[in-house]
Amino acid sequence: MKDAYSFDATPETLEKSYRAMYDAYCRIFTRCGLEYVIVEAESGEMGGSGSHQFTVPCQSGEDTIVYTQDGSYAANLERAAVDPLPRDDRQCLAGTPVVPVDKGREIPPMQEVHTPNIGSIEAICAFLKTQPKDMIKTLIYAAGDSAVAALVRGDHDLNQEKLTQALGGGHMELADEPTIEKVTGAKVGFAGPMGIAGKVSKIVVDHAVAAMAAGVTGANKTDYHTRNVVPGRDFPLEGQNIVVTDIRYAGEGDTYNGKKLLFKKGIEVGQVFKLGTKYSEKLGAKFLDENGNEKPCIMGCYGIGINRILASAIELGNDDNGIIWPISIAPFEVLVTCVNQDDEKVANVAENLYQQLLNDGLDVLLDDRPLRGGVKFKDADLIGIPIRATVGARSVAEGNVEIKLRSQSESQRVSIEQARAKISELVNTLKEQLNA
């Protein structure tokens, strides 16, 4: 990992430092031959006011990029925002939200159902003959000395990064069993949002839950669940400690700004953060301003995964025979392969070409192993050195050297006298393509 930090006096100079590193990273990844995208990223517990992630789209990547087809929005999965789902057709009766079903019939009152030893969403749905999208998951988190309840729909996954940001960026983790039992009055697996507003510091409700007509959720009673739970009627959607916001992962069918969200895998190769004063205040990293007042430095943080660059380059550049390295990060720029090492004339031509290229400042490897040509060619393709010059008895007898780019299937014959210049030209061309 390459790690770096910046220390500034004002948000404006932080922006300048941040942009300088951002642009430098762009140049680095371009020169490394990577096809990358820049997405908005969640800073998480690192804190700060903003972050961008550099990701190489790749099917084998561990990260997920969320984007719109027109390119107007891109973010990693932890950051990706979603539009609120449309509300069901709600009516208001005596100030109480209800939902008309079957031509005006209202949702009936809540109904407890005995669900012995059944706690998982899948098991409940099978037992009650319902679907995950009709369930409300109530997750209890410990945030310092207080507890927080987070509500998401049964078919959605809670995004803890979004939840963290919704609560101001503080540390939190899933509550232990005693805390859950204290808040809900029930064993783990039977939590519900009804009646817990006074027992937690916050209830954070995902947009999709707020839009539900009614749902099934834990009854806050061991071995019981409750049907016909209407958001806004049976648990609050407004109040001093109630937050309704986006706290779930984006999924297929979601939109942002009215545009369909698409998904693809990627490898994260770098990330930049605007940290602010979170760490400088704790470390005592301060400076005196022009008026002699002591202030904390405003920090930025910048990281590149060195081995991830190599892994990404291999994932993007390969074929059935091996690696196809970008010349800027290849282990060598040129491979001189001597096919007939036991032939003194051939060996001399190969050695001379090798020395000439070294003198030109090129990074060259000479394969002078006493092995068959086929074995050497297989190894050359596997290693993936960008340019291969093959010196063999037949080509030398004709006064030629065969030159081949690893990225191409066909080779070209060049006279022994011109081989040095031709190889140098190809090296420069490959480098210029990366810098274009």
pLDDT in tens, 140-171: 999 888 999 999 999 999 999 899 888 887 78
Answer yes or no: is 357 within a domain: yes
- Asked whether the predicted pLDDT for residue 49 surpasses 90, the reply is no
**pLDDT tier at 107 (50, 70, 90 boundaries)?**
confident
Say yes or no: 136 and 236 in one domain. Answer: yes
Give a yes or no: residue 322 inside a domain.
Answer: no
Query: What mean pLDDT is predicted for residues 27-51?
Result: 83
| 106 and 236 share one domain | yes
Do 120 and 7 share a structural domain?
no
The confidence score (pLDDT) of residue 44 equals 61
Is residue 219 located within the same domain as residue 134? yes
What CATH code is carried by the domain that includes residue 215? 3.90.960.10
Domain at 303, CATH number: 3.30.930.10
* Per-residue pLDDT reduced to its tens digit, 318-346: 999 999 999 999 999 999 999 999 999 99
Are 298 and 413 in a shared domain? no
Residues 121 and 230 in one domain: yes
Res. 46 pLDDT band, cuts 50 70 90: low
| CB distance 359 to 376 below 8 Å | no
Same domain as 295, residue 215: no
> Would you place residue 262 in the very low, low, confident or very high pLDDT band (cuts 50, 70, 90)?
very high
* 100 & 204 share domain: yes
Choice among 46-50, 106-110, 212-216 with the minimum mean pLDDT: 46-50
Q: Mean pLDDT, to the nearest integer, of 301-330?
A: 95
The pLDDT value recorded for residue 53 is 93
pLDDT at 59: 87
| pLDDT, mean over the chain | 91
**pLDDT of 327:** 97
Q: Is residue 61 part of a domain?
A: yes
pLDDT digits (tens, 9 = 90+) for 171-219: 889 999 999 999 999 999 999 999 999 999 999 999 999 999 999 999 9
User: Is the pLDDT reported for residue 246 higher than 60?
Assistant: yes
Could you tell me what percent of the chain has a pLDDT over 90? Answer: 80
Q: Is 184 inside a domain boundary? A: yes
Same domain, yes or no: 112 and 233: yes
Structure-block tokens of residue 24: 């430098």
Same domain, 298 and 377: no
> Is 123 among the domain residues?
yes
Domain end marker among 266, 290, 316: 316
Can you give the CATH number for the domain in which 405 is found? Answer: 3.40.50.800
Q: Judge if 144 and 229 occupy the same domain.
A: yes
The answer to pTM > 0.95 is no
Q: End of a domain among 316, 343, 359?
A: 316
- Same domain? For 221 and 272 the reply is no
Q: What is the pLDDT of residue 192?
A: 95
pLDDT band at residue 66, thresholds of 50, 70 and 90?
A: very high
pLDDT at residue 436 above 80? no
pLDDT given at position 435: 82
pLDDT of residue 117: 82
Amino acid 93: pLDDT: 33
Reported as a single tens digit per residue, the pLDDT across 207-226 is 999 999 999 999 999 999 99
Of the residues 267, 293, 316, the one at which a domain ends: 316
Mean pLDDT calculated for residue range 14-43: 93
Poorest-confidence range of 48-52, 54-58, 261-265, 347-351?
48-52
pLDDT at 365: 98
Q: List the domain range (segments joined by +) for residue 148.
A: 91-245
Q: Does 417 fall in a domain?
A: yes
pLDDT confidence bin for 104, thresholds 50/70/90: very low
Q: Tell me if 26 is assigned to some domain.
A: yes
Q: How far apart are CA 37 and CA 191, in angstroms?
A: 41
Q: How many domains does the chain have?
A: 3
Selected residue with higher pLDDT from 94 and 407: 407
Judged against a pLDDT cut of 70, whether residue 379 lies above it is answered with yes
